[in-house]
């Protein structure tokens, strides 16, 4: 008899409905997939794709992972992102680099959510990019404030030289963090940088 399952039954990470799935069918059905790549203006990213629109249950999945420290659905999210990378050809890169967080935030949160979401990927090399100083959360900042907030916050390793890099993160909205990461990698010699996220919003 599964005593652990009796006392700690598996529940949906979003609605807490009992069941075997990390995200139940009802919650999954309420998520809005993105049918195409996000449009890019001129900038350092070659391509940018996301699995879901950053609304409703998808936004809740991101918030539950990042802010509530609920990790039971991280493996599912990672697998879905890896399948998207395979469908779009973004798995054919030299290295997958989770967007880093500062060590002080890692200590408070206990993990980097981007690294959890990279677990279903191959060629993951988080050591190629570091965040060297803490920054204010991007939420609530103006466009100019976001750019100034992140300026000089990242350092890339010399091993990115001539490499194609796939940045990976949980969500992108304004794209400021990913753009600063990409700029840092390209300045260190990366051949090209693309981005994959679980969700994307305007």
Q: State phi, psi for 153 to the nearest 5 degrees.
A: -85, -10
Distance, first Cα to last Cα, the chain: 48
Tokens encoding 156: 């890339």
Q: Is the pLDDT of residue 39 over 80?
A: no
Per the CB < 8 A criterion, the answer to whether 45 and 194 are in contact is yes
Q: Is 185 exposed, middle or buried (0-12, 13-18, 19+ CB in 10 A)?
A: buried
Give the separation between CA 125 and CA 115, rounded to whole angstroms.
10
pTM metric for this prediction: 0.88
Per the CB < 8 A criterion, the answer to whether 145 and 139 are in contact is no
Structure confidence at residue 52 (pLDDT): 95
Angle at 196 between CA 128 and CA 56, to 5 degrees: 130
Q: Is the pLDDT of residue 145 over 70?
A: no
Q: Is the pLDDT of residue 4 over 70?
A: no
Q: Is 22 helix (H, G, I), strand (E, B) or coil?
A: coil
Q: Is the pLDDT of residue 58 over 60?
A: yes
Instruction: Please state, in angstroms and as integers, the Cα–Cα distance from residue 175 to each residue in 25, 141, 180, following that order.
Output: 30, 13, 9
How far from the centroid of its chain's Cα atoms is residue 25's Cα? 23
Per the CB < 8 A criterion, the answer to whether 95 and 181 are in contact is no
What are the residue ranges spanned by the domains of the chain?
37-200
User: What is the pLDDT averaged over residues 106-135?
Assistant: 93
Q: Is the pLDDT of residue 16 over 80?
A: yes
Residue 1 pLDDT level (bands cut at 50, 70, 90)? very low
Q: To the nearest whole number, what is the mean pLDDT of the chain?
A: 88
Residue 5 pLDDT level (bands cut at 50, 70, 90)? very low
Residue 142 pLDDT level (bands cut at 50, 70, 90)? low
Per the CB < 8 A criterion, the answer to whether 60 and 130 are in contact is no
For the domain covering 37-200, report its CATH number.
3.40.50
Share of the chain above pLDDT 70, in %: 84
Residue 175 pLDDT level (bands cut at 50, 70, 90)? confident
Tokens encoding 20: 């075997």
Which of 40 and 66 is assigned the larger pLDDT?
66
User: What is the pLDDT averaged over residues 29-42?
Assistant: 70
Tokens encoding 55: 């609304």
How many helices, marked H, and strands, marked E, lie in the chain? 8, 6
Tokens encoding 8: 């700690």
Q: Is the pLDDT of residue 149 over 90?
A: no
Residue 34 pLDDT level (bands cut at 50, 70, 90)? confident
């Amino acid at each position: 008899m599964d005593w652990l399952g009796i006392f700690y039954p598996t529940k949906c990470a979003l609605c807490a409905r009992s069941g075997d799935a990390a995200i139940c069918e009802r919650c999954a059905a309420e998520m809005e997939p993105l049918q195409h790549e996000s449009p890019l203006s001129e900038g350092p990213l070659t391509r940018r794709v996301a699995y879901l629109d950053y609304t409703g249950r998808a936004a809740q999945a991101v918030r539950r992972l990042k802010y509530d420290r609920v990790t039971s659905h991280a493996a599912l999210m990672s697998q879905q992102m890896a399948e998207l990378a395979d469908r779009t050809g973004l798995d054919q890169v030299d290295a997958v680099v989770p967007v880093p967080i500062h060590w002080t935030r890692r200590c408070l949160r206990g993990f980097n959510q981007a690294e959890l979401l990279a677990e279903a990927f191959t060629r993951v090399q988080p050591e190629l990019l570091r965040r060297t100083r803490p920054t204010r959360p991007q939420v609530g900042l103006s466009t100019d404030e976001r750019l100034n907030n992140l300026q000089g916050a990242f350092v890339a390793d010399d091993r990115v030289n001539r490499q194609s890099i796939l940045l990976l993160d949980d969500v992108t909205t304004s794209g400021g963090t990913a753009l600063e990461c990409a700029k840092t990698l390209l300045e260190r010699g990366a051949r090209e940088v693309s981005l994959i996220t679980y969700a994307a919003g305007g």
